[in-house]
Structure 1
Amino acid sequence: MTAPASLRWAHVGLNCRDQAATEEFYTRWFGFRRARVVAGDGWQVVFLRRGEAWLELFASDAEPAPAAKEDGPANPGAVRHLAFQVDDVDAFLAGAEGELSVSLGPLDFDEYITGWRTVWVTDPDGVVIEVSQGYTDQTPEELARYDA
């Protein structure tokens, strides 16, 4: 079977100790807005949206995962990090005025892509978020070098 032609990205679901704090974090720092709330008897799921990017926030009282370090957990099956692009990592950090928890960086990756700069921050539940500038895809010719 081949992938359906209509396939498109849907969302990332995040478990949260405090949905309101997590919603405020993604709204304040990354410009998401509340798009939908689905609720039942004693539970609710909050959907946040920015353009075509969606986050689904679930309240959870389960034990937190071990704290992620640097650019995220390396465990197979775990999501390593979320990632967003900005025009200027340093301006993004300056706008945060020290209010974001930086887990790694900022680091420059000019040896791979000229102008690629990245910092990793964490959300209220310890989810690692990569914030980058300057990332670009490789050309088909460059990718062909990696074909087996």
Structure 2
Amino acid sequence: MRWSHAALNCGDLDTTEKFYTTWFGARRVNEFDLGDLRIVFLRLGDAYLELFGQARPPAGETPGGDGHPVAGTVRHIAFQTDDLDGFLRRIEGQAEITLGPLDFSAHIHGWRSVWLRDPDGVIVEVSEGYRDRA
């Protein structure tokens, strides 16, 4: 068994696709037009993001910080980088940072994370230095 994908509902599929291809290096590997619904698959490494177009706007409050704390919802999705400061310089002014960057070196030396909001309000964590325990 291996991880396959996360599926995101998008208010504007093209804007969301551009966000993940520009800032995270994902690339489009498939697209389906089902008449009133368009689906795009983006690939990054061995995992995919499946983007669903023409989604309804979210009801209620948009999550902030490190994501939505309600059971049964996804808190956030996450990516890893070798250069968090470089990522932050590239994305400056292009996305809303909702939390951080925070330093977790007390737990794992060199582990830092920042959280930002994608065009549809999904919270995205970007971290540097996370390692599994030996």
TM range (shorter): over 0.9
Q: Say yes or no: does 1:55 pair with 2:49.
A: yes
Residue 84 of structure 1 aligns to a residue whose secondary structure is strand
| Distance in 1 separating the partners of 2:63 and 2:123 | 7
| Distance in 1 separating the partners of 2:35 and 2:75 | 33
Q: Higher relative CO (CA 8 A, sep ≥ 6), structure 1 or 2?
A: 2
Q: Say yes or no: does 1:45 pair with 2:39.
A: yes
Give the counterpart letter for 2:51 in structure 1: L
Aligned to 1:136: 131
TM-score of the pair, normalised by structure 2: 0.94
8 Å CA contact 2:37–2:54 kept in 1: the answer is no
Aligned to 2:85: 90
Unaligned runs of 5+ in 1: 1-6, 140-148
**Identity over aligned residues, as a percent?**
51
Q: Say yes or no: does 1:68 pair with 2:71.
A: no
Give the counterpart letter for 2:11 in structure 1: R
TM-score of the pair, normalised by structure 1: 0.86
Stretches (4+) displaced over 6 A: none
Query: What is the CA RMSD across the aligned residues, in angstroms?
Result: 1.1
CA radius of gyration, larger in: 1
Size of the aligned set, in residue pairs, is 133
Unaligned runs of 5+ in 2: none
Q: Say yes or no: does 1:122 pair with 2:117.
A: yes
